[in-house]
Amino acid sequence: MAHEKIQTENMFLHYGSKLALNDISIQIPEKKVTAFIGPSGCGKSTFLRSLNRMNDLIDGVKIEGKILIDGINIYDNNIDVVTLRKKVGMVFQKSNPFAKSIYENVAYGPRINGVKDKKQLDEIIETALQNAAIWTEVKDRLGDSAMGLSGGQQQRLCIARTLAVNPEIVLMDEPASALDPLSTSKIEELIVQLKEKYTIVIVTHNMQQAARISDLTAFFYLGELIEFDKTKKIFTNPEKKQTEDYITGRFG
């Protein structure tokens, strides 16, 4: 069995008095693609954001239980959140490039982390853009504004920006939901390639996408983790009736 990269034990999350996640225990292996599926508002994005402490930014959020990455509880008091977010990168639903050049978008993270040498920056940027499968499209226009790229290119640029700080885990919150079919298939191909180097966790509302690209699938419903298994099993022979009803569309 692959090494467990992320593990949660009896995790509860409250927004004020509302229970948003109820007793989530899951083990996510490294260098695989794990997809979270389920209807809107079921907690899957909230759970994803708790894996790099993005929920810290929301008032009134209280988390109980453990979230371990490489065996370390990321909610311990001595955890440096900046270091954590370097290790656990995030790609959002809506691509959010900075209004700067393509080069500066990718250089942003490494610069914050103290990389000043131009040659070293150039290498990091080229590697990140290659790993995000966009280098050939932008290599002759690195000085141009990122805002001139298409939506699909902007999303791959945001993936490159995440990869530039050398994370181990990449969280993706519906990364292709705003994109056309062609851009979506490019992002999907990219995700499959990235798992050679990174642990990928993706939230998707598109079940076909989960079936195509993930190794494991977790089905969330009303703040509970209903079922978690190999993707093939979840889509062909789920254990729980709720999972089957959701996947076959007899739901809701």
**pLDDT above 90 coverage of the chain, percent:** 91
At residue 64's C-alpha, the angle toward residues 17 and 86, to 5°, is: 110
Rounded to two decimals, what is the model's pTM? 0.95
Q: What is the pLDDT of residues 206-240, one digit of tens each?
A: 999 999 999 999 999 999 999 999 999 999 999 99
Q: What is the pLDDT of residues 129-169, one digit of tens each?
A: 999 999 999 999 999 999 999 999 999 999 999 999 999 99
What are the percentages of helix, strand and coil residues in the chain, rounded to 5?
Answer: 40, 25, 35
Quote the pLDDT of residue 178. Answer: 87
Q: What is the pLDDT of residues 44-101, one digit of tens each?
A: 999 999 999 999 889 999 999 999 999 999 999 999 999 999 999 999 998 899 999 9
Quote the pLDDT of residue 251. Answer: 64
Quote the pLDDT of residue 1. Answer: 47
Cβ neighbours of residue 143 closer than 8 Å, sequence gap 6 or more: 101, 102, 103
Across 106-121, average pLDDT:
95
Distance of alpha carbon 24 from alpha carbon 223, whole angstroms: 9
